[in-house]
Amino acid sequence: MERRSKSVSRKPARRLDPRPASQNPTVDLVSLPHIADFIDYGEITLGEMYPVGCVAVAADGHNSLAMLRRRDGETLAQLLIRLDQAIGKALEEDIFTDEINTDR
C-alpha cells in the first residue's frame, strides 16, 4: 500500500479591507525627526511578533533603543509617533523603552 503525505493546513491569506482616504491618517517624516536621523545608522522593524502582537523595534546593531507593543485601537501613525519619541528619549536621555519583555 502506498503512503500518502499528509496535507499541510495553512493559514488562510488575510484580506485587507481598504479604508477611505479620509480615514487614513498620514505622518510626514519631518514630524518624525528621530526616526529620520536614526535610519541612517540603525534599523527599524515593524511587524507581528508571536505571541506579543504587532510591535515596533528600533535597534542600532548592538542595542535596542525602543521596543513598543501596538496598543488596542492604536493606528500605525500613532505607533510611529510613539516610536519617534522613544528613540529621542534613548538618544538624548539614555532612557530605553521595552514594552515587549514585561509582564502583561
Write the pLDDT tens digit of every residue in 60-91: 988 999 999 999 999 999 999 999 999 999 99
pLDDT of residue 102: 79
* Grid cell for residue 102: 514585561
pTM of the model: 0.73
Listing DSSP states for 43-81 in one string gives EEEEEEETTTEEEEEEE-SS-EEEEEEPPTT--HHHHHH
